[in-house]
């Protein structure tokens, strides 16, 4: 999260910046790292310290809180305490929207019968498989490396598409097409 700390009539000390970083870390964990940036304006008015905190979260959501106190830790805590419920509401809203979108199903009227799946096993198309020219020994090495249970290749000796696979007994099977 990008952090911008500004002081109005206040010097930003490393200890003050560390305090702000530590307190904002709790909000950042609450929002699951969806906070894009935070702007903190520190100012003193007579005998009180004022912290104006604005957090920009994903989706153009702005969380804003102003904290006042006799010292900086109290003022920062007051601003964080005002933003924490906003962050919780926003996170709940995102979670509800996500769950609602995942569970939506359209119900068909009872008069319209849903098509029954065809009997037998379904055919699930795999990604494309590149058929490379190689020897039977090279294909056997690929299957033996246990990367694949089968290899489809173009046999460099016969220039035909050949399949080499691992059999259940542990041996290798070779399927070569007939030249009819």
pLDDT value at residue 52: 94
Residue 81, domain member (yes or no)? yes
For residues 43 and 89, membership in a common domain is answered with: yes
By CB atoms closer than 10 A (0-12, 13-18, 19+), residue 29 is: exposed
Residue 170's Cβ-count burial label (10 Å; 0-12, 13-18, 19+) is exposed
Question: Does 144 lie in the same domain as 61?
Answer: no
Which CATH number is 42's domain given? Answer: 3.30.160.100
- Give the chain's domain count: 2
60-83: per-residue pLDDT in tens? 888 999 999 999 999 999 999 999
Does the pLDDT value for residue 86 go beyond 70? yes
pLDDT, tens digit, 9 for 90 and up, residues 123-175: 777 767 778 888 888 888 888 876 678 888 888 888 888 888 888 888 888 88
Residue 104: the pLDDT is 54
Angle 68-72-77 from CA coordinates, rounded to 5°: 65
Residue 57 or 110, more confident:
57
Task: Please indicate, yes or no, if residue 43 is contained in any of the structural domains.
Answer: yes
Same domain, 14 and 84: yes
* 8 plus 82 within the same structural domain: yes
Please state the pTM of the whole predicted model. 0.52
CATH code for position 143: 3.30.505.50
Same domain, 93 and 149: no
The predicted pLDDT at position 99 comes to 72
Mean pLDDT of the 96-104 span: 68
Residues 13 and 85 in one domain: yes
Q: Is residue 33 part of a domain?
A: yes
Nearby residues of 35 by Cβ (< 8 Å), 6 or more positions away: 1, 27, 28, 55, 56, 57
Question: Does position 11 have pLDDT exceeding 80, yes or no?
Answer: yes
Instruction: Report yes or no on 70 lying in a domain.
Output: yes
Domain hosting residue 66, numbered range: 2-97
The answer to whether residue 115 is domain-embedded is: no
Averaged pLDDT for residues 95-122: 67
Indicate the SS3 state at residue 134.
Answer: strand
Question: Cα angle vertex 36, ends 35, 40, to 5°?
Answer: 85
Tokens for 134, please give them: 């190689």
Q: Confirm whether 106 is domain-assigned.
A: no
Query: Given this model, what pLDDT does residue 91 score?
Result: 84
Whether residues 68 and 6 fall in one domain: yes
One domain, residues 79 and 163: no
pLDDT digits (tens, 9 = 90+) for 14-62: 999 999 988 888 888 888 778 888 899 999 988 899 999 999 888 888 8
C-alpha–C-alpha distance, residues 126 and 140, integer Å: 22
Let me know if residue 125 belongs to a domain.
no
77 with 157, same domain: the answer is: no
Q: Does residue 86 sit within a domain?
A: yes
């Amino acid at each position: 999260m990008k952090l911008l700390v500004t002081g109005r009539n206040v010097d930003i000390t490393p200890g003050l910046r560390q305090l702000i970083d530590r307190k904002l870390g709790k909000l950042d964990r609450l929002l699951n790292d969806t906070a894009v940036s935070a702007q903190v304006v520190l100012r003193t008015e007579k005998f009180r310290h004022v912290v104006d905190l604005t957090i920009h979260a994903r989706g153009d959501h702005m969380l804003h809180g102003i904290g006042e106190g006799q010292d900086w830790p109290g003022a920062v805590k007051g601003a964080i305490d005002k933003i924490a419920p906003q962050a919780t509401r926003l996170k709940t809203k995102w979670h509800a929207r996500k769950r609602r979108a995942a569970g939506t199903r359209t119900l068909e009227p009872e008069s319209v019968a849903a098509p029954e799946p065809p009997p037998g096993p379904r055919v699930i198309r795999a990604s494309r498989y590149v058929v490379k020219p190689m020897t039977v020994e090279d294909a056997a090495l690929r299957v033996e490396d246990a990367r694949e249970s089968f290899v489809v290749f173009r046999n460099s000796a016969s220039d035909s598409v050949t399949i080499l696979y691992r059999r259940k007994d542990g041996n290798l099977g070779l399927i070569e097409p007939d030249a009819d």
